[in-house]
């Protein structure tokens, strides 16, 4: 590599979920603070870090492919992330990697970078802004409030990869949130493996923020975040009883009226096999209550089709649940065996073709529901966060739309709007996923 500039350069490949994105941002922040340059080009990098995903086998394959590409294009590769917890899998496929670490291992990654690419100097001034280096657009950011998970769902190996729940101190979370807002962030997306469980490992003991005692619990954290004057969106919320306390905050406009709840299934038998809560009727009752308090509440969920033991009857129960629940947004995944997951030992596996066929049927069934839920916005004025301007106008998101996974709002006469800013629009039409609007 022939460069006149001696500054060491690091490339970064980031795969996986928003929690992994936060890990990537922490590594990038440390690298920049120590004087390394970040480059998107393999050929310009002195080494490459690949932050992997290992949740399902498709993600494992994608991660291994990314590692292979980095080795081929650059040659010096450090692997981190969830797949790093399965070191043997990585080394069997790519024995030439420099080193392998597991997830949320910023210190280990930095030590490895120092070993293979010594840092240029110890800076006397901070080389990065207070909010750190981010890979998301300037107007939104993910805020991770905890690591790990105490659940033992039979289809999941996240606790094996990331450990049990470890909540961040509330003052640390709020300091990061304030820095994000000061940098211009308009939307904070709260993420973790189990957002509802925030503070359980701390026994909800009192923390302090700006001299005030505050219980370290999701409700109290949501109230504090709601004081920052930006959109606050909650992801990965398990339906614990405490979730009921969040709905009034949404009705009052403190946080977005949006819940991302991974129900996964509705058949009591399948939920028990998954080691998930199985009281479907109570869930439906709570959804009705939530919507009576906050009529504009958007509920997103994910489901698995073809889990071992799932019969046609179990699948029909799932469809009946969707009809009764009238969820706004639904993601569906055919069951994918994960190495090390307890579900692999369950009897009566469902053939892959049937898993996929049920996924397609569920999505088709949900289409009418999703469309009807969107139709209720037609004729109303709503606030949107502008994402970009293109030749057809503005592309934006509403309070009901999380980035990357939900729909969009297309504003045909919005060419004069500014990306990263809020706008008031009137909804004029919709399709299965998106809204169409005009500026007010």
> 50-68: buried (b, 16+ CB within 10 Å) or exposed (e) per residue?
bbbbbbbeebbebbbebbb
**Does 17 count as an annotated binding residue?**
yes
Q: What is the DSSP string of 406-439?
A: S--EEETT-TTS-TTSEEEEEEEEE-SS-EEEEE
**In angstroms, rounded to a whole number, what is the distance separating the alpha carbons of residues 269 and 276?**
10
Pairing mode, strands 47-52 and 187-191: unpaired
**In angstroms, rounded to a whole number, what is the distance separating the alpha carbons of residues 189 and 376?**
25
Closest of 289, 263, 288, 291 to residue 278, by C-alpha: 263
**Does 149 count as an annotated binding residue?**
yes
**In angstroms, rounded to a whole number, what is the distance separating the alpha carbons of residues 67 and 74?**
10
Max Cα separation, the chain?
68
**In angstroms, rounded to a whole number, what is the distance separating the alpha carbons of residues 64 and 68?**
6
**Does 156 count as an annotated binding residue?**
yes
Closest of 173, 165, 224, 225 to residue 200, by C-alpha: 165
Phi, psi at residue 386, to the nearest 5°? -75, 130
Query: For residue 252, what is the DSSP state?
Result: T
Q: What is the DSSP string of 273-324?
A: HHT----HHHHHHHHHHHHHH-TT-EEEEEEEES-TT--HHHHHHHHHHHHH
| Residue 313 neighbours by CB distance under 10 Å | 9
For CA atoms 350, 351, 355, 361, the dihedral sign is negative
Q: 201 is written with which tokens?
A: 């490992």
Cα 219–Cα 217–Cα 18 angle in degrees, nearest 5: 85
**Does 53 count as an annotated binding residue?**
yes
**Does 430 count as an annotated binding residue?**
no
Residue 399: exposure state from Cβ atoms within 10 A (0-12, 13-18, ≥19): buried
- CA distance between the termini of the chain: 55
CB 268 within 8 A of CB 224: no
Q: Which residues are annotated as a binding site for [4Fe-4S] cluster?
A: 17, 53, 82, 149, 153, 156
Q: Which residues are annotated as a binding site?
A: 17, 53, 82, 149, 153, 156
């Amino acid at each position: 590599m022939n460069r006149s500039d001696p500054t060491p350069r690091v490339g970064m490949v980031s795969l996986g979920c928003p929690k992994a994105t936060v890990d990537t941002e922490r590594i990038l922040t440390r690298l920049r603070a120590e004087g390394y340059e970040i480059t998107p080009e393999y050929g310009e990098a002195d080494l490459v870090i690949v932050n992997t995903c290992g949740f399902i086998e498709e993600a494992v394959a994608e991660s291994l492919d990314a590692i292979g590409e980095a080795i081929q294009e650059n040659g010096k590769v450090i692997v981190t992330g969830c797949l790093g917890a399965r070191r043997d899998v990585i080394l069997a496929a790519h024995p030439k990697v420099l080193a392998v670490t597991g997830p949320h291992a910023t210190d280990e990654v930095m030590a490895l970078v120092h070993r293979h690419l010594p840092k240029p100097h110890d800076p006397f001034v901070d080389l990065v802004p207070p909010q750190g280096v981010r890979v998301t657009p300037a107007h939104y950011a993910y805020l991770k409030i905890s690591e790990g998970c105490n659940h033992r769902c039979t289809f999941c190996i996240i606790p094996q990869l990331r450990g049990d729940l470890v909540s961040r101190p509330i003052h640390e979370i709020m300091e990061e949130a304030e820095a994000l807002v000061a940098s211009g962030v308009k939307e904070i997306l709260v993420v973790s493996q189990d957002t509802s469980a925030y503070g359980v490992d701390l026994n909800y003991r009192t923390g302090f923020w700006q001299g005030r005692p505050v219980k370290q619990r999701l409700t109290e954290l949501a109230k504090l975040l709601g004081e920052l004057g930006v959109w606050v969106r909650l992801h990965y919320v398990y339906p614990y009883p405490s979730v009921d306390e969040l709905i009034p905050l949404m009705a009052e406009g403190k946080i977005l009226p949006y819940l991302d709840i991974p129900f996964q299934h509705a058949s009591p038998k399948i939920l028990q096999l998954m080691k998930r809560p199985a009281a479907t009727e109570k869930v439906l009752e709570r959804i009705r209550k939530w919507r009576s308090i906050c009529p504009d509440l958007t509920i997103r969920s994910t489901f698995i089709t073809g889990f071992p033991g799932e019969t046609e009857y179990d699948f029909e129960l799932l469809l009946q649940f969707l009809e009764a629940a009238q969820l706004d947004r639904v993601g569906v995944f055919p069951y994918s065996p994960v190495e090390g997951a307890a579900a692999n030992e369950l009897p009566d596996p469902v053939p892959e073709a049937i898993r996929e066929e049920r996924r397609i049927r569920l999505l088709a069934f949900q289409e009418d529901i999703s469309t009807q839920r969107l139709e209720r916005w037609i004729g109303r004025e709503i606030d949107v966060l502008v994402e970009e301007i293109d030749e057809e106008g503005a592309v934006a998101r509403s309070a009901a739309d999380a980035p990357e996974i939900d729909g969009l709002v297309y504003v045909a006469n919005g060419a004069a709007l500014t990306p990263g800013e809020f706008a008031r629009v009137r909804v004029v039409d919709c399709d299965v996923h998106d809204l169409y609007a005009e500026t007010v």
